[in-house]
Amino acid sequence: MFAIVDIAGQQFKVEKDQTVYVHRLPHAEGASVELNKVLLVNNNGSIKVGVPTVTGANVKAKVLTHLKGDKVIVFKKKRRKGYRKKNGHRQSFTKIQIEAINA
């Protein structure tokens, strides 16, 4: 059984007991989260497609930890002009574990 869920503007294919890294969620570590934007549910070949979401379906997840991703270096340069800019960025993520899929 799997589901396709919209989490923080991105779509993920999730299964029970799977861990997923998503964009930072405002919930505390150890908190339980209910995700209601379920777009598709596949229950052993029985497929329900939402218009735009499946009514009555939700996914329960648990927030494991908040962390940051790898650093990405942004470097801009224009040759022969003396223009150089260096900037770095680390994206904030939340690690969640899928506990149940209710269809």
The per-residue pLDDT of the chain, averaged, comes to 95
Query: How many domains, in total, are found in the chain?
Result: 1
Per-residue confidence band for 103, with pLDDT thresholds at 50, 70 and 90: confident
Tokens 């506990």 appear where? 99
Please tell me the chain's helix, strand, coil percentages from 3-state DSSP, rounded to the nearest 5: 0, 70, 30
Q: Which domain holds residue 60?
A: 2-102
Per-residue confidence band for 39, with pLDDT thresholds at 50, 70 and 90: very high
CA 28, 34, 37, 39 torsion: positive or negative?
A: positive
Work out the average pLDDT over 65-85: 97
